[in-house]
Amino acid sequence: MSIVLLAAVILLPSGMFAQTVSRGVVKAVIGSDLNSVLPDDVVYMYPEFQKGTVLFNDRSTSEGIVNLYLIGSHIHFIGPDGDTLAMKDQDTARVLSIGKDTYIRHDKCWVRLLSVQGSLAFGIRSTVHIEQAQKIGAYGMTEATASISNVAMLHDIPGAPSHAVYLKTLRNIPYSVTHDALLYDGSKIFMATRKNFRKLFPEKKDLVKTYIKDNKLDLTKAQDALQLFNFLNL
């Protein structure tokens, strides 16, 4: 189902790149709640839960006090008793509005729309990955295990809250946060590359090349990709 894009322009965070990957390692005792040991801005998109609205594929809506849980890109909300709960059936949702921000659901992730012009949009997809275990090799060098399948890294605890993920055997927990700049045509998502700009703006193919050259744009930087997107929509 295609949707009508909301007319909004959202400021792009400084330093955000078309595909930025930041990495870190946290330490935790066995059995710790992963949410409690990762940095706050890795666990949730916003420092506090706030009012949000979800639009589903069947056009129904739901409202609540929500936040975007980055590990798995899920909506979490505050229940009637004050508990933090995970919303079921994430992929039946289509649009998420939190405060002034708007997201669309795509490929099991939420994509934040930064600029919307007519039927096209520019957005950022932020995802968190808990990476394979590491061990200390010979001479104190750190080496990754040969295969993540060899390590029982994470598991669910029966009866635990739905938003909790517990560590099973690891003390050092490597993680990465990836931000991808994307183009959206109302039904499909594309990486913000020169090729895809030319695809989405077929009548302005030559203008894409000229504008990039004249303004010395680097489309690996989301600021530059956003500048091109807005220019092509003038």
- In tens, the pLDDT along 157-197 reads 444 455 556 555 556 777 777 788 899 998 889 999 999 99
Secondary structure class of 169 (helix, strand, coil): coil
Handedness of CA 200, 203, 205, 207 (dihedral sign): negative
For residue 55, is it left (φ>0), alpha (ψ between -120 and 50) or beta?
A: beta
Instruction: Please tell me the least confidently modeled range out of 113-122, 158-167, 171-180, 217-226.
Output: 158-167
All structural domains of the chain with their residue ranges: 19-232
Residue 145, pLDDT > 70, answer no
Residue 175 pLDDT? 75
The whole-angstrom separation of Cα 96 and Cα 14 is: 23
With beta carbons less than 8 A apart as the criterion, state whether 80 and 132 touch: no
Residue 230 pLDDT? 93
Q: Which spans in the chain are helix H?
A: 34-37, 40-43, 194-200, 205-214, 222-232
CA 26 to chain centre: 20
Per cent of the chain over pLDDT 90 is 38
pLDDT tens, position by position, 19-76: 555 666 766 666 666 677 677 777 889 999 999 999 999 999 999 999 998 888 889 9
Residue 156, pLDDT > 50, answer no
